[in-house]
Structure 1
Amino acid sequence: MSDPFSLDFAALRCLRMVHEHGSFSRAADSLGMGQSSVSYTIARLREVFGDPLFVRQGGGIVPTQRCVEIVEQTGRMVDEFEALAAPRVFDPGTAKLSIGLSCNFYERVTILPELIRVLRSEAPGIRLNIIPSQVRGREQLMRGESDMLIGPIRIEEVGYYRRTLFSDDYVCIMDRGNALAKAPLGLEDYVAAPQVVVNYGGTFRSRFLVELERMGRALNTVIELPSPANLPDILMRTDMIATVPRRTAAVFASDVAMVECPVKAEISIDLQWTPRTHVSAAHVWLRRQIAAAAGRV
């Protein structure tokens, strides 16, 4: 076994990236390294820990149990060290840095316009790298692909920080000529109406669907979409309706009719991050701006 003190935090971060991506090449892309450098680093780690760490299975690699234990324990060390090395002083007017933000359509059309106006005025040197989270927000935070996550899917496990930004309820949108737009919508008409359901491209289930299931009812789903982005175009000149958060409907207000949803349910939109950026002065400042922007929408 090699000397464990010959390792550095870069090697441990490399191990975590290979573990998270399940691939040497994808880890190399994420880290901005060559694949040969990743392979060399993993070989060093194998010697130090006296374990293969990854084994071939099918067409890919899987971690050994020892690897899983090492990643769990050293991951916290890497995050804490990165937090320790973060600057404690931050001047938004002169700062030059890039911050990754993971979110979806809802957050992009509600919070981001307010946030970006503040950044262009007070911190023009901050570059936001915005990526779609869908249902992969936790993975993106773990891999360092994003620094913050905004959305309705809470990460319940230990090791993440969270701040609730606001709550929203649901309404129904439809073509202005739809007969259901002329009067309050009752539950029977609601479940019978042909629905366009937004599934957000993953296993996430909107709260109104969870509540419907609790009631023992189901929608008449005719179309499923991964995003609400072009709902007005799809609903136009049809008898279909869609159920969306109220703030999403407000964005579409000039193109659709809006009716109160007979199923009462709420979603909470949270801002989440990891210990890696928790004490960073720049990130603390930006999180405050995100919360303030959310308070204005």
Structure 2
Amino acid sequence: MNLIDTFNLDIRALHAFVTVLDEGSVSRAAVKLGVSQSAVSHTLERLRNALGDPLFVKSGRGIAPTQYALQAGPHIRQILDDMHSLASGPAFVPETTELTFTVAANDYERDLLLPKLMQRLRQQAPGMLLQVIPSGIPTADMLRKDVCDLILSPHAPEATDVMQRGLMADRMVVFYDPSQRQAPESVPDYLEADHIALVFARGEKPALEASLSASGFTRRNVITVSNFSGLPEFLRGTDMLVTAPERMSKHLLRDFSWVPLPFTFKPFTLLMVWHRRNQNDSSHRWLRNQVNAVAATMNGLNE
């Protein structure tokens, strides 16, 4: 037996051997494999040379496996099963897993989705730990360099190695303290007011700022904060305005009134973003399914 040739065998050759063994016929195996009969015969010849055994011999009008082939069959099937398991990734058991996942999310996405996600994890995967870091305007390198495993953001990096899934829709609205002022009813009302604005920690500005500039609008931002959680206390008891996602009216900004923007600004979709290399990872896929289930419940859909 040529040991080097043995280790040079490919998976297709082993699969062909098992198929011939199962079918008891080169021609039937060729049909099942979707290749020519000569291709199967050529593959068997390679296997004979590598393994040092005829493998199949003529028996009447058909063929019969040698004793070596019969003994090797279970081992080769195990090799194929192991390779299949390797391609699919190791089995993932939520109840016994001990993994830490890092999710990049600003406080809007964090407060909206992650508390309910954590409730699910504690029930279904108590050994899974969640680490949350701010995303700002996320980049593909955050995923490529393993800064995080998953991004929750309306801003998906434009890259061919990054995948995404829409979770829920939202829109920007105007919040105000009704004890201090009336709702802005027009574009001039909005632009003449003092505003509390958001500028992320790395200096990135939300898309609204660029949209205002593109429309030729200028508003007076008297204070900027680096995250949404700074908005309520600055807004409370003042006549200022805050432009923020409508879903914040259910939690962070629930103490305030809101009205739609007095100008056109398209709604946005909150996205779940991950790197392509994790697409088929069983634990990563399970976590993505949990995030999607939380979003589906919030959208009024059944899991």
TM band (smaller chain): 0.5 to 0.7
Unmatched segments (≥5 aa) in structure 2: 1-85, 299-303
Write the deviation string for residues 58-90 of structure 1: whole angstroms up to 9, x where unpaired.
Answer: xxxxxxxxxxxxxxxxxxxxxxxxxx6883321
Offset of 1:140 from its aligned partner? 2.2
Shift in CA distance, 85/145, structure 1 to aligned 2, threshold 3 Å: farther
Conserved 8 A contact 1:193-1:220: yes
What SS class does the counterpart of residue 161 from structure 1 fall into? Answer: strand
Structure 2 length-normalised TM: 0.65
Residue pairs, 1:43-192, within 5 angstroms: 87-181=89-183, 185-192=185-192
Bigger shift: residues 191-200 or 270-279: 270-279
- Aligned residues, how many? 212
Q: Distance in 2 between matches of 1:210 and 1:238?
A: 26
Bigger relative CO (Cα 8 Å, ≥ 6 apart): 1
Q: Identity over aligned residues, as a percent? A: 29
Write the deviation string for residues 180-229 of structure 1: whole angstroms up to 9, x where unpaired.
Answer: 23xx6211101111001112234544333333233221212111111110
What SS class does the counterpart of residue 295 from structure 1 fall into? Answer: helix
Aligned to 2:276: 275
Conserved 8 A contact 2:177-2:239: yes
**Matched AA of 1:173:** F
Conserved 8 A contact 1:169-1:264: no
Offset of 1:127 from its aligned partner? 0.7
Shift in CA distance, 106/137, structure 1 to aligned 2, threshold 3 Å: farther
Conserved 8 A contact 1:102-1:137: no
Offset of 1:246 from its aligned partner? 0.6
Unmatched segments (≥5 aa) in structure 1: 1-83
Aligned to 2:212: 212
Aligned to 2:297: 296
Q: Distance in 1 between matches of 2:101 and 2:294?
A: 17
Residue pairs, 1:24-35, within 5 angstroms: none
Q: Distance in 2 between matches of 1:270 and 1:212?
A: 23
Structure 1 length-normalised TM: 0.66
Shift in CA distance, 254/269, structure 1 to aligned 2, threshold 3 Å: closer
Write the deviation string for residues 113-165 of structure 1: whole angstroms up to 9, x where unpaired.
Answer: 22111111111111111111113443321221211111122111211111111
Q: Distance in 1 between matches of 2:201 and 2:192?
A: 24
Root-mean-square deviation (Å): 2.0
**Matched AA of 1:172:** V
Q: Distance in 2 between matches of 1:139 and 1:131?
A: 15
Aligned to 2:260: 260
Conserved 8 A contact 1:165-1:291: yes
**Matched AA of 1:124:** P
Conserved 8 A contact 1:208-1:264: no
Conserved 8 A contact 2:140-2:162: no
Q: Distance in 2 between matches of 1:236 and 1:196?
A: 11
Aligned to 1:77: none
What SS class does the counterpart of residue 180 from structure 1 fall into? Answer: coil
Q: Distance in 1 between matches of 2:144 and 2:246?
A: 31
**Matched AA of 1:189:** D
Shift in CA distance, 164/203, structure 1 to aligned 2, threshold 3 Å: farther
Shift in CA distance, 157/92, structure 1 to aligned 2, threshold 3 Å: same
Offset of 1:273 from its aligned partner? 1.0
